[in-house]
Amino acid sequence: MDINFAFDKIPLPLMYIITTAIVFLSITIGFKLGNYIRQRKKNKIEAPTGTIIGSMLGLLAFVLAFTFGLAASRFDSRKQLLLDEVNAIGTAYLRTDFLAEPEGSETRKILKRYVDIRVEVARNPAELSKTLVESEELHRQLWSQVTSLSRKNNDSVLFGLYAQSLNEVIDLQEKRVTVFLVYRIPGSIWMVLYFVMILTMFSVGYDFGQNRGGGILISLILSLVFSAILLLVLDIDRGAEGMFKVNQSPMVELQQKLRLSVK
């Protein structure tokens, strides 16, 4: 099973609790082991571990920053694709003026419905599968009209412009779906991140135990802070829930414009 699929089944608040528990448990186990070894070797000098732990923390920060960069890049792509789709739909709607009646009116009605379901799925991501099915059906209807009209407008440059804009609308849906559902942070990166996190936090706890430092409060604060950062990356990567959702204002504004259109 893809680890991204497994992560998506777990709500973000629960992921925060799980990650906090993992970090806190790793520190606690390391602390107990370090404290145990210190008590057993009272007269022996323990090799300094500060440099090693510092290197591990640096490595963890690098992996986390790399993961955050991937998530942020994907978030930017989703925003750009939304704007591209809004512009493409708006252009296709304007170019329906190039079509004869009644096909022009029918096409505008379909495009309005297409924008409506775009806004609906943004408000209710749980309906994504249903929305994709309806979108594909609307694509089929629109392209069927193009195929039918092409036999009557073989030499029409204006009709060709409309067909080009409609083709762009169809392509952009595929791009948005791919970026949203497929182009996720790879599961292998999540596994490496959690593996490095567990070992690093274990080492931090071990150092606490060796030097009689830290404590439950410090360990808990460290767990909460690091888990919050990791939750931020998870939030950005998912896109369908949490705080970091692409603002759908451009699509909503397009919906209002089409509703006010007299055509």
Please give the single-letter amino acid code of residue 25.
Answer: L
Tell whether 157 is covered by a domain.
Answer: yes
**Weakest mean pLDDT among 45-59, 103-117, 198-212, 235-249:** 45-59
Q: How many Cβ atoms are within 10 Å of 230's Cβ, its own excluded?
A: 23
Question: Considering the domain boundaries, does residue 4 fall inside one?
Answer: no
| pLDDT band at 2; cut points 50, 70, 90 | low
Which amino acid is present at 259? R
Question: Within a domain: residue 78?
Answer: yes
The vertex-163 CA angle with 100 and 165, nearest 5°, equals 115
Q: Which residues contact 28 (CB under 8 A, 6 or more apart)?
A: 205, 219
- Residue-wise pLDDT for 211-234, tens only, equals 776 677 888 888 898 889 888 888
Distance CA 160, CA 167 (A): 10
Maximum average pLDDT range among 63-72, 144-153, 230-239: 63-72
Upper half-sphere CA count for residue 127 (Cβ side, 13 Å) = 11
The structural domain count of the chain equals 1
Q: How far from 252 is each of 96, 135, 178, 234, 255, CA to CA, in Å?
A: 21, 17, 22, 26, 5
The answer, as to whether pTM is greater than 0.95, is no
- The residues, any chain, with a CB within 8 Å of residue 192's CB and separated by 6 or more, are 63
Q: Is residue 2 part of a domain?
A: no
Buried residues in 212-226 as b, exposed as e (16+ CB within 10 A): eebeeeebeebbeeb
* Side-chain-facing half-sphere of 251: CA atoms under 13 Å: 22
Cα–Cα–Cα angle for 145, 146, 148, rounded to 5 degrees: 65
Is residue 167 exposed (0-12), middle (13-18) or buried (19+ Cβ within 10 Å)? middle
% of the chain residues with pLDDT over 90: 16
What is the domain extent for residue 163? 9-39+48-260
CA pair distance 119, 171, nearest whole angstrom: 18
Q: What six digits make up the tokens of 233?
A: 């990356």
Rounded Cα distance, 95 and 108, in Å:
10
- Domain-embedded: residue 1: no
Is residue 3, in this structure, part of any structural domain at all? no
183: number of Cβ within 10 Å: 15
Q: How confident is the model at residue 17 (pLDDT cuts 50, 70, 90)?
A: very high
